[in-house]
Structure 1
Amino acid sequence: MKTPAQPVTTCLGDLGSGQASPLPVSIPEERILSCVHCGLCTATCPTYTLLGDENDGPRGRIYLMRAVAQGRMPVTESVQVHLDRCLDCRACETACPSGVEYSRILEPFRLATAQVQPAWKRRTDWFRQLVLLRIFPYPERIRRALLPIRLLQKAGLYDALERMGLWDLLPGRLRAMITLVNAPVPAGPPLPAFLPANGRRRARVAFFVGCVADAMFRHVHWATVRVLQENGCDVLVPQGQVCCGAIHYHAAEEEDARRLADQNVRAFPVDDVDAVIVNHAGCGAMLKEYGRYWHDDRTADREKFAEKVRDINEFLDRLGFIPPIHSIDVTATYHDACHLAHAQRVVAEPRHLLSQVPGLRLIPLPESNMCCGSAGSYNLFHHDLASRLGKRKLENILRTGADVVLASNAGCLLQIEREVRRARAPLAVLHPMELLDACYRGEKPRGIVATSGGNGRPRRA
């Protein structure tokens, strides 16, 4: 008979003194010991690829965490740096032949290390307290905060100021945030509570709008629900829904994340729909894992909700995708968002959908499953490493000769679009649903006016 796994008790040191003090962390020991240190994960790890340091790869980080768990090492500043550099992209989980659940080791450690930090450090970090926790999770606050940037963009001054190096004079995280703002696109009104299927109804779904996704990519939401309607879906948009909670959870604000999760569970009528649809990978990964984060009297409700969550690409492929009738003369490449490919294991489905679009040429992207550097708020807190990954991603995209790069995550779209803008590359950056929606309506995808004569590359709108 198997003995129940016991939680590991870690010795987490004071980050200044290096003196260890015990703190319980609920990680089954077998989860840590499942890593056999074969090293197959290192080739897929973005930080190990960039830095070549064993401590900045999954195997090395697990070794560090195991040493802490066994009381052989306190969490010093050096250990903290190596753990903080991890993007939590989970590419190592895809590569691991032993099935190590790396994120389920790393995330509790990060929560635990946050607990031993002095409270005043968190409270006096203005960017964390104001921007990350009090603006990002709320769409209307994001829109208001973006107004000055949107005015500069519409006046044609944003790019000029960036080329002059003005943004480089700002504090690091603020600079990174401003340079990540996407180009203004007409957002349209808020989604209504109900949108009926076109033709015969094949499914009834609820749609998750999120926070950053709704504030900066509402046009993608509209494209997504139109695609769902074309595929015979009634679409409900529950009005009581909120941020998925990923921002708070990864910022070690666990109770606030739980509160947001429970509000979403209450808002969605999961018994009355076939699926809860998400069109951005980071939100989808968080929603699908509600049942694993907290164990209390609401766990069963969270698990029931999570079982209904489907990425839009995944859902359409399983439903039986109805291809658009209009042809499109475009060459595209597809970037695998980490939390879609590695956390949700949705890889073939987007490609299968795109392969059915008449006229579309889909070119494989080298290192498609390598992180672009966004990783939630990683590109704000680790700007240099994130920028190196973003440039590497753009170089691979340009090698394909594609007109369009497609990605199913808000952070990826922002990160890649910034690199495209800075390189002045003739490349449109779109969500797959934007392209499908344009094809259903017989329109050119946003950002492409027409192909140029000589080299087939597009002219940008």
Structure 2
Amino acid sequence: MIAMQHDIPLESSGPNADAMAEAVSTCIRCGFCLSACPTYDVLQRESDSPRGRIILMKEVLEGAMPADKAAPHLDACLGCLACEPACPSGVSYRHLLSPYRSLVRERTTVAWPQRLQRWLTAQTLPYPKRFRFAARMGMIGKKLSALVPPVLRPMLELLPETLPAAKELQPRYAPMGDQVGRVALLAGCAQQVLAPQINEATIHVLRHIGLEVVVPTQQSCCGSLAWHVGDGDRAAKFARNNVRVFAGDQSSFDAVVTNAAGCGSGMQEYGMILRGTDIESQASDLAGKVKDVSVVVCEHADRLRLKRPALVHEGEAIVRVAYHDACHLANAQGVRVQPRELLRRVPDVELVDVAEAHLCCGSAGTYNLDQPETADELGRRKAKAVMATGAPIVVSGNIGCLTQLQTHLNSMATEAHPAPRVMHTMEFLSACLNESPSPNPILN
């Protein structure tokens, strides 16, 4: 085991030192992770594999290597955690990567263009009103791309041609029929701007199965975008606020529901983000109540009333639907079965998996902004695999994946082979509910 407290040249290895040391010492260097790692698959360098990165982090933590030398390889990591289910030794890579990034953040040199991009991302994406304004400015910049600094162009390429109208969420929504429970919903940040219909569909499905839905008005960004790039202080600020907001009345919630894989895994790491603070215990308790919406709906699946989706040509007897595993849903939260079970319940649906399902699509929070070349390669491969299914609809459970898929599918589409429709799992389910409209969905 590495002796971080004695060898590390930094003043402190932080409150997650023991978990980091355990992750490093558990790795037996077997190499099973290499075939699971998307960046190793693309770059074919040992230093860009989980095994290689663990060795690099160990060297930095023991003072044998400067953080700057390891930084390019650690920055290139998606944080997709595909290495965890592939590891026979049970290395908890998540307990090493983000705490390490947070630890060395202020001790690595970052070129000013990338500092600008990271600052703009941190100041806009977690704040829906700011992000909406920035996105509108970005759409103008998209038309004048020659005048935009190269470091900002990946941000513009991911923007849609138009933004949907803003939709304000109400603080409470009544269940349809008999009430079976009460949940709180994390509304998300970029999702509220890019795809507000996802929250609408989520609330619709939750109400349909008899759940009252509470949307706390003082909630903030979950903090996962900051945490995954090593901005531990900012992540802790967001996490602390949400612990106050959601845990203040958490005894009356059956679950805190998330509908973005990255947000859900981020909230489930609140105990790690706030380790060593005065609210560590509360944070861990709240983290234990966080569930992806597909898990919650699956728990009440017998209450779903579903009909054939009216989303394709009537002449087609079977609707083929491709399902894409979001990394932070499948790997970080271990949620693979529930979304598939829900989709298979829909009449006349044939569910098809996407080839190379273990490989990340390249979105990974802000990765497609930080590492655009690798992200583009992974996005193209994922889109090609989706197109190969022949399915007219592709479904996933994360806004970043949906945006990445849409971008690359559109670039591949032809008149003969149009891009599949990209939908969130809850959007698809909502469109397949067989029900009469409820007259009074909002509770004051």
- TM > 0.5: yes
- Equivalences for 1:257-272 in 2 at 5 Å? 257-268=235-246, 269-272=249-252
Comparing 173-182 with 236-245, greater Cα deviation is found at 173-182
Residue 291 (1) aligns with residue 284 (2): no
Instruction: Give per-residue Cα distances to partners, 1:258-279, cap 9 Å, x unaligned.
Output: 1211111111221111011100
Contact in 1 for aligned 2:7/2:61 (Cα 8 Å): yes
- Mapped to 2, the partners of 1:254 and 1:48 lie a distance apart of 26
- Report the CA distance between 1:191 and its aligned residue: 1.2
Q: 2:166 touches 2:193 (CA, 8 Å); kept in 1?
A: no
Q: Indicate the residue corresponding to 1:301 in structure 2.
A: 282
Tell me which amino acid in the other structure corresponds to 1:72.
Answer: A
Question: Deviation of residue 30 (structure 1)?
Answer: 3.0
| Counterpart position of 2:294 | 313
Q: Which residue of 1 aligns with 2:23?
A: 31
Partner of 1:439: 432
Structure 1 position 187, deviation (Å): 4.5
Contact 2:223 2:239 in 1 (8 A): yes
User: Aligned-pair distance for 1:367?
Assistant: 1.3
Cα deviation for residue 173 of structure 1 reads 3.5
Matched ranges for 1:34-433 at <5 A: 34-77=26-69, 79-117=70-108, 125-129=115-119, 131-148=120-137, 167=145, 170-182=148-160, 184=162, 186-187=164-165, 189-268=167-246, 269-294=249-274, 295-328=276-309, 329-424=318-413, 425-433=418-426
- Counterparts of 1:442-457 in structure 2, within 5 Å, are none
Contact 1:201–1:233 under 8 Å retained in 2: yes
8 Å CA contact retained: 1:242, 1:260: yes
| Matching residue of 1:451 | none
Cα distance between partner residues in 2 of 1:113 and 1:10: 17
Q: Secondary structure at the match of 1:204?
A: strand
By how many angstroms is 1:441 displaced? 5.8
Q: Deviations over 1:40-63 (max 9, x none)?
A: 111010010011111110011111
Q: Hey, what does 2:442 align to over in structure 1?
A: none
- Which blocks of at least 5 consecutive residues in structure 1 are unaligned? 13-20, 153-157, 443-461
The SS at the match of 1:357 is coil
- Render the CA deviation track for 1:294-350: whole Å, top value 9, x for unaligned: 222111111121111110011111233533332125211111111001110101110
CA distance in 2, matches of 1:23, 1:370: 37
Please tell me whether the aligned partners of residues 33 and 50 of structure 2 are also in contact (alpha carbons under 8 angstroms).
yes
Deviation above 6 Å: which 4+ runs of structure 1?
A: 120-124
Residues 356 and 124 of structure 1: CA distance in aligned 2, closer, same or farther (over 3 Å): closer
Secondary structure of the equivalent of 2:321?
Answer: strand
Question: Which stretch of structure 1 is more off in the superposition, 292-301 or 89-98?
Answer: 292-301
Paired residues, number: 417
Relative distance call for 1:10 and 1:173 in structure 2 (3 A) is farther
Query: Which sections of structure 2, spanning at least 5 residues, go unmatched?
Result: 310-317, 436-444
CA distance in 2, matches of 1:324, 1:177: 40
Per the TM alignment, residue 93 of structure 1 is displaced from its structure 2 partner at its CA by: 0.7
Letter in 2 for 1:363: V
Tell me the CA shift for residue 108 of structure 1.
2.1
**Cα distance in 2, alignment partners of residues 194 and 256 from structure 1:** 29
Partner Cα distance (2:426, 2:123) in 1: 30
Distance 1:167 1:138 in 2: 24
Superposed displacement of residue 35, structure 1: 0.3
**Relative contact order (C-alpha < 8 Å, sep 6+): which is higher?**
2
Supply the distance in 1 between the matched residues of 2:167 and 2:68 (Cα, whole angstroms): 50
C-alpha separation in 2, matches of 1:30 and 1:188: 45
Given residue 282 of structure 2, which amino acid in structure 1 is its aligned partner? D
Following the alignment from structure 2 to structure 1, what is the Cα–Cα distance between the partners of residues 182 and 278? Answer: 29
Corresponding residue for 1:446? none
Question: Secondary structure of the residue that 1:24 maps to in structure 2?
Answer: coil
TM-score, normalised on structure 1?
Answer: 0.85
Measured in 1, the distance between the counterparts of 2:429 and 2:165 equals 17
Maintained 8 Å contact 1:336/1:347: yes
What is the CA deviation profile of residues 203-247 of structure 1, one whole-angstrom value per residue up to 9, with x for unaligned ones? 111111021121212111001100111111111111010100122
Percent identity between matched residues is: 36
User: Per-residue CA shift, 1:27-84, capped at 9, x if unaligned?
Assistant: 233321100011111101001001111111001111122223333333343x211111
Asked whether the 8 Å contact 2:322–2:389 carries over to 1, the reply is yes
Q: Counterpart amino acid of 1:213?
A: Q
Distance 2:161 2:337 in 1: 29
Seen in structure 2, the aligned counterparts of structure 1 residues 319 and 326 have a Cα distance that, compared at 3 Å, is closer
Q: What is the Cα deviation at residue 106 of structure 1?
A: 1.7
CA-to-partner distance for each residue in 1:140-190, whole Å, 9 max, x for gaps? 1111122245689xxxxx7xx6xxxx6477433421111112354645631
Name the residue aligned to 1:8.
4
Distance in 2, Cα, partners of 1:380 & 1:242 = 22
**Displacement of 1:286 after TM fit?**
0.5
Q: Which residue identity does 2:408 align to in structure 1?
A: E
AA at the equivalent of 1:70:
E
CA–CA distance in structure 1, aligned partners of residues 149 and 99 of structure 2:
30
